[in-house]
Amino acid sequence: MSTATSMPILTCSLVLLTSSFLINFANGGSFTDDIRISWGNGRGKILDNGKILTLSLDQYSGSGFESTHEYLYGRLDVQIKLVAGNSAGTVTTFYLSSKGPAHDEIDFEFLGNVTGEPYTLHTNVFAQGKGDREQQFHLWFDPTKDFHTYSILWNPQHVIFLVDNIPIRDFKNHESRGVFFPKKQPMRLYSSLWNADDWATQGGLVKTDWAQAPFTAYYRNFNANACVWNGRSSSCSSADKPMGSTPSSSTKGDWYRHELDSYSYRRMRWVQRKYMVYNYCADIKRSPRGRPRECRLR
Ligand SMILES: *[C@@H]1O[C@H](CO)[C@@H](O)[C@H](O)[C@H]1NC(C)=O
């Protein structure tokens, strides 16, 4: 008797669960709602009704912004137009990071250069405090002429870095083989423009030319397709359970199960062959006892 009445309730709550889950699945993307300027004493600005954000740097300070939410998995995209002209010594960052010891972090850093020489795009992944996974690239375009899209796709199996939707790096979850993966710690998104002329450009040889200051980077079209962390749980936590429902069957949730198909894989390999200028996996001096484990796995 009691089973007969509980059946419809169960079905009903399943439907509710699924739909609330779709709604909670944040698809935000406004500088006014999802981002706050976090430092720089007026050097970071949100302009044009939230359509444009600018960060600037002078000899007294840089500036930065952060997301109002923390995320536990997501696809985060933003368009950036980097500091033009002589940007040597400046670093523009766009990264996710958790707090506390043994932190997780997923980094994009753009290292400036003297006029006419290429920016270096520096990437890194930290899991449970362990980083040292740098890969650096030059770009196949001038990142100071126009806006280009930079994206971090972070799901339970992959951390994928994309430039104009072309994957440049895929850090896979090899937890089963003893390699930590950023999985449990919610991360906030951060971005900054600051001076790093002690190391950034040509190994610290080229200093920032303060006569060019203020240096300015421009941002637009921020988009977070992400699972929002509320302090106790994630807005997509049911996605981990084998419910058969993925976060939205529409394209909005595709990132959660995304992995590279053979076309994207070939494009990534093309970028890596032609534009990668540093790869920790190939740095024999740094790992005399053999390459890091994830570099030996496919
Ligand atoms: C700057 O330009 C030099 C010379 O082309 C290049 O080797 C270097 O990777 C570039 N980027 C940085 C950040 O130094």
- Residue ranges with strand state E in 145-207: 148-154, 158-163, 166-172, 187-195
Give the pLDDT band of residue 195 (cuts 50, 70, 90).
very high
Rounded CA-CA distance 35/150 in Å is 17
Q: How far is the CA of 225 from the centre of ligand 1 (A)?
A: 34
Q: How far is the CA of 112 from the centre of ligand 1 (A)?
A: 8
What tens digit of pLDDT does each residue of 93-127 get? 999 999 999 999 999 999 999 999 999 999 999 99
Q: What is 3-296's CATH topology?
A: Jelly Rolls (2.60.120)
- Residue holding tokens 């290292």? 111
What tens digit of pLDDT does each residue of 33-91 get? 899 999 999 999 999 989 999 999 999 999 999 999 999 999 999 999 999 999 999 99
Query: Omega of the bond prior to 182 within 30 degrees of 0, cis?
Result: no
Our answer to whether residue 66 is catalytic in this structure is no
Averaged pLDDT score across all residues of the chain: 88
Ligand 1 pocket test: which of 135, 138, 202 has the largest number of ligand atoms within 8 Å of its C-beta? 202
Q: How far are the Cα atoms of 75, 134, 179, 194, 221 from residue 122, in angstroms, in the given order?
A: 19, 7, 21, 15, 22
Q: How far is the CA of 174 from the centre of ligand 1 (A)?
A: 32
Q: Annotated catalytic residue: which of 66, 70, 109, 134?
A: 109
Rounded CA-CA distance 20/279 in Å is 43
Long-range contacts of 42-48 (CB under 8 A, 24+ apart): 43/214
This prediction's pTM: 0.87
- Delimit the domains of the chain by residue range: 3-296
Amino acid at the residue 213? A
Residues 238 and 229 sit within 8 Å (Cβ to Cβ): no
Q: What is the largest CA-CA distance in the chain?
A: 83
